[in-house]
C-alpha cells in the first residue's frame, strides 16, 4: 500500500427507512444512531477519515457535529430502498478520488450496528494495510445432516455428505458488522473475524431491536 494512501471509514446512512422511520437519527443513549458508528471509527487510530454517505441534510448536519466528513450528498437514485450498498461505496470512493484523495482501502460500517469496538476496527485496518479483505462472521447452528463451510467470499458452501474422518468444526456465516476492502495491490485473501458477543451483534432493524439497544445503552453499552 502506498505510504500516502488513506484508510477510509464509509458510513452509509440514507434518510429513508422501512422498519423505523428516520432510523439513523433516532436517539440511542442520548446520541443519534448514526453517531455511534462515527464515534467508534474516530477512536480507531488506523482510520484516516470518517465519511458519511447520505442523501439527507439532517443526517449530514448531525454527522458533521459528531466529527465525520460529509463532502457530498448521495444522489437519489442511490438512496432508494432497493439501492445496493456497493453502489453507494463506489460513488463515495469516486467522489473522494475525484477530489484528490488516494484511497488505499475502506471499511463499510452500517449505522444499524451501534456496538462495535475500536479493537474490531483495528483488526480490519491491519488486514487492509496488509493487502487483504476483511469480513466479520457469526456462528450459526447447523441442523443434523446439513453440512456447510465458509467459502472464500464469506458465503456458505455445501460440503460432501459426511465421510470418515471429515471434521467440519464450528460453522459461521458472513455478518455485516464490518466489511473492509484493500485497493490497489491486493492478495485476494479474505480475513474472517468471528464475533460471538451478543451485544456486538445487535442489528437495529425493527422497533423491538431499537428498544433492546436502548436498554443495553442504558446499562452501559460498549462505548456509550
Q: pLDDT tens digit string along 178-221? A: 999 999 878 888 999 999 999 999 999 999 999 999 999 998 75
Residue 140: its pLDDT value, please? 77
The answer to whether position 201 is within a domain reads: yes
Q: How many domains does the chain have?
A: 1
The answer to whether position 151 is within a domain reads: no
Cell for 140?
Answer: 450459526
The answer to whether position 41 is within a domain reads: yes
Residue 22: its pLDDT value, please? 92
- 171 touches 149 (CB < 8 A): yes
Q: How many CB atoms lie within 10 A of CB 119?
A: 10
The answer to whether position 223 is within a domain reads: no
Q: How many CB atoms lie within 10 A of CB 27?
A: 12
Q: Which residue ranges in the chain fall short of pLDDT 50?
A: 144, 163-164, 166, 223-224
CATH number for position 109: 3.90.550.10
Residue 223: its pLDDT value, please? 47
Q: How many CB atoms lie within 10 A of CB 189?
A: 13
The answer to whether position 107 is within a domain reads: yes
Residue 2: its pLDDT value, please? 64
pTM of the entire structure? Answer: 0.83
Residue 132 Cα distances to 55, 83, 124, 179, angstroms: 30, 26, 9, 11
Q: Residue 211: which residues within 8 A CB-CB, separation 6 or more?
A: none
The answer to whether position 168 is within a domain reads: no
Residue 148: its pLDDT value, please? 63
The answer to whether position 152 is within a domain reads: no
Alpha helix positions (H), the chain: 33-42, 57-65, 85-98, 118-129, 207-218
Structural domain boundaries enclosing 125: 6-136+174-218
The answer to whether position 159 is within a domain reads: no
Q: Cβ-count burial of 41 within 10 angstroms (0-12 exposed, 13-18 middle, 19+ buried)?
A: buried
Amino acid at each position: 500500500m502506498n505510504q500516502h494512501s488513506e484508510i477510509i471509514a464509509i458510513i452509509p446512512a440514507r434518510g429513508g427507512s422501512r422498519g423505523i422511520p428516520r432510523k439513523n437519527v433516532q436517539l440511542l443513549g442520548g446520541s443519534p444512531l448514526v453517531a455511534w458508528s462515527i464515534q467508534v471509527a474516530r477512536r480507531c487510530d488506523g482510520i484516516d477519515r470518517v465519511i458519511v454517505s447520505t442523501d439527507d441534510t439532517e443526517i449530514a448536519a448531525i454527522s458533521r457535529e459528531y466529527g465525520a466528513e460529509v463532502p457530498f450528498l448521495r444522489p437519489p437514485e442511490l438512496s432508494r430502498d432497493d439501492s445496493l450498498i456497493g453502489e453507494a461505496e463506489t460513488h463515495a470512493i469516486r467522489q473522494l478520488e475525484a477530489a484528490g484523495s488516494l484511497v488505499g482501502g475502506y471499511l463499510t460500517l452500517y449505522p444499524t450496528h451501534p456496538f462495535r469496538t475500536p479493537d474490531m476496527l483495528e483488526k480490519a485496518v491491519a488486514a487492509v494495510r496488509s493487502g487483504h479483505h476483511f469480513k466479520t462472521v457469526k456462528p450459526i447452528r447447523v441442523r443434523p445432516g446439513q453440512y456447510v463451510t465458509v467459502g472464500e467470499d464469506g458465503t456458505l458452501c455445501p460440503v460432501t455428505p459426511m465421510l470418515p474422518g471429515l471434521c467440519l468444526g464450528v460453522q459461521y456465516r458472513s455478518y455485516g458488522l464490518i466489511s473492509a476492502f484493500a485497493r490497489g495491490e491486493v492478495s485476494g485473501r479474505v480475513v474472517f473475524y468471528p464475533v460471538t458477543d451478543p451485544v456486538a451483534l445487535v442489528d437495529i432493524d425493527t422497533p423491538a431491536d431499537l428498544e433492546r439497544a436502548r436498554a443495553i445503552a442504558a446499562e452501559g453499552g460498549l462505548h456509550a
